Amino acid sequence: MKLTTAEFIEKYAVKRTGTNSLKWDALDQRYGDPDLIAMWVADMEFQVPEAVTTALTERVNHGVYGYSYTPDSYYEAYFNWMKQRHNIKLEKDWLRFDNGVVNSIYGLVNTFTKPQDAVMILTPVYYPFHNAVLDNHRQLITSELINKAGHYEIDFADVEAKIVANKVKLLIQCSPHNPVGRVWTEAELKQLLEICHRHHVLVVSDEIHQDIIIGQQPFVSALTVAHGRYRNGLIVVTAPSKSFNLAAMLNSHVIIPSEELRERYDKIHQQINQTEVSALGQVAAEAAYRDGGDWLDQVLEVVRSNYKYLRDELAAKVPAIKVADLEGTYLAWLDLRAVVPIDLTKEFIQDDCHLAVDFGQWFSKNDAGFVRLNLATDPKFVHAAVANIITSLTKINETRAISATE
Ligand SMILES: Cc1ncc(COP(=O)(O)O)c(C=O)c1O
């Protein structure tokens, strides 16, 4: 039965303090203030679909957690989801499991490049992409996305020039893109994949936000671009964790269509990674893929309405704050540079607005003054965040006006 947005929030939104939640219970440790409104790390304040709770409860009631394997029913549920939602046809052979997408990206950088090899990312981008390159002593090559009044585009000429100049071996792509909210079109992906193909650059496409589609632009997987033409130079990493709020269940997918790349992956993994699958993670994911579609659609409605509220209120009251277009992900990207001096952004956000956010410079050295706000939450937090921003700016402007007349 479809719930209204208000009914959905009433039923699923929960208080998370006291549950070892990184987002809420680590505020003091991470931000030095336990009382901030937590709008940072990308998980949700919503309980998972009922079918997931039921499946987990049954498994827990059995009470044995011995070694587990992935049943055919898992592949069936996941492959149906990918086919029905995204028109992606997967094959069982292509799939490897892991316990997190970030973990996979670190592993793929290690497997497919050598120390000092150049690895490219399109910035601003999810900061573990930077870390996966730097922690493994590879050379980090960045190409800045072009910000056209909150709509970001790839600078293809810059990407190609830097690939050639630095002999880039691997590109880590974020699709949909965290934090700028783009859902890349097939034409954009084709152009990027064609450049990589031309210069023998392996592409790792992180499609973890594939189900969080907020605007009109449908998600296109790199796997299906040009009817799959680029598959052999491509590894896709994805997971049910963003879509169904399952991050700590530690179950994710590595999709490798090329037999040659699979052999290289398997050889290295045999040597260094003998991780078993997460039994509870797979029980949860299978139930989510089979029965979680309506729940996800309702979450998307909440995110759309939170985004509209944030964008419209700020446009009406503080139009100098630029909110990027949100085509995908549940993460809003705000440019505060016109209203707060860049070096005072942290004080403004934490001390005046009482918010815990992700700061722009975590995503690109050029993006201090931007902040990322998580909208997969109870609207009451979004309303409070917007009110705090508007009130704090009004106060600052009044103080400025008084000191200017003194
Ligand atoms: C683009 C992207 N990749 C990966 C992750 C994290 O994935 P995991 O928890 O599976 O490591 C996130 C979480 O925010 C993300 O935004």
- For residue 405, the model assigns a pLDDT of 74
Going residue by residue through the chain (406 aa), what tens digit of pLDDT does each one get? 788 999 999 999 999 999 999 999 999 999 999 999 999 999 999 999 999 999 999 999 999 999 999 999 999 999 999 999 999 999 999 999 999 999 999 999 999 999 999 999 999 999 999 999 999 999 999 999 999 999 999 999 999 999 999 999 999 999 999 999 999 999 999 999 999 999 999 999 999 999 999 999 999 999 999 999 999 999 999 999 999 999 999 999 999 999 999 999 999 998 988 778 899 999 999 999 999 999 999 999 999 999 999 999 999 999 999 999 999 999 999 999 999 999 999 999 999 999 999 999 999 999 999 999 999 999 999 999 999 999 999 888 888 777 777 7
- For residue 396, the model assigns a pLDDT of 84
Q: Give Cα separations from 240 to 49, 275, 281, 301 (angstroms).
A: 12, 18, 9, 18
- For residue 402, the model assigns a pLDDT of 76
* Gyration radius from the chain CA atoms: 22
Q: How far apart are CA 70 and CA 118, in angstroms?
A: 36
Q: Is the CB of 208 inside a 6 Å radius of any atom of ligand 1? A: yes
- For residue 273, the model assigns a pLDDT of 82
Q: From 108, 208, 375, give the residue whose CB has the most ligand 1 atoms within 8 Å, as the site to mutate.
A: 208
- For residue 2, the model assigns a pLDDT of 84
* Ligand 1 atom at minimum distance from 41 CA: 14
Distance 130 CA to ligand 1 centre (A): 13
Residue minimizing CA distance to atom 13 of ligand 1: 42
Q: From 41, 126, 275, give the residue whose CB has the most ligand 1 atoms within 8 Å, as the site to mutate.
A: 126
Distance 100 CA to ligand 1 centre (A): 8
Q: From 39, 242, 243, 331, give the residue whose CB has the most ligand 1 atoms within 8 Å, as the site to mutate.
A: 242
- For residue 1, the model assigns a pLDDT of 72
Q: Hey, what domains does the chain have and what are their CATH numbers?
A: 5-49+293-405 (3.90.1150.10), 51-291 (3.40.640.10)
Q: Is the CB of 101 inside a 6 Å radius of any atom of ligand 1? A: yes
Q: Is the CB of 210 inside a 6 Å radius of any atom of ligand 1? A: no
Q: Is the CB of 122 inside a 6 Å radius of any atom of ligand 1? A: no
- For residue 224, the model assigns a pLDDT of 98
Q: Is the CB of 252 inside a 6 Å radius of any atom of ligand 1? A: yes
* Ligand 1 atom at minimum distance from 125 CA: 1
Distance 102 CA to ligand 1 centre (A): 6
Q: From 102, 108, 123, 209, give the residue whose CB has the most ligand 1 atoms within 8 Å, as the site to mutate.
A: 102
* Ligand 1 atom at minimum distance from 104 CA: 11
- For residue 373, the model assigns a pLDDT of 98
Q: Is the CB of 172 inside a 6 Å radius of any atom of ligand 1? A: no
- For residue 401, the model assigns a pLDDT of 73
Q: Is the CB of 295 inside a 6 Å radius of any atom of ligand 1? A: no
Q: Is the CB of 132 inside a 6 Å radius of any atom of ligand 1? A: no
Q: Is the CB of 241 inside a 6 Å radius of any atom of ligand 1? A: yes
Q: From 178, 184, 329, give the residue whose CB has the most ligand 1 atoms within 8 Å, as the site to mutate.
A: 178
N-terminal to C-terminal alpha carbon distance within the chain: 62
Q: Is the CB of 100 inside a 6 Å radius of any atom of ligand 1? A: yes
* Ligand 1 atom at minimum distance from 42 CA: 14
- For residue 403, the model assigns a pLDDT of 76
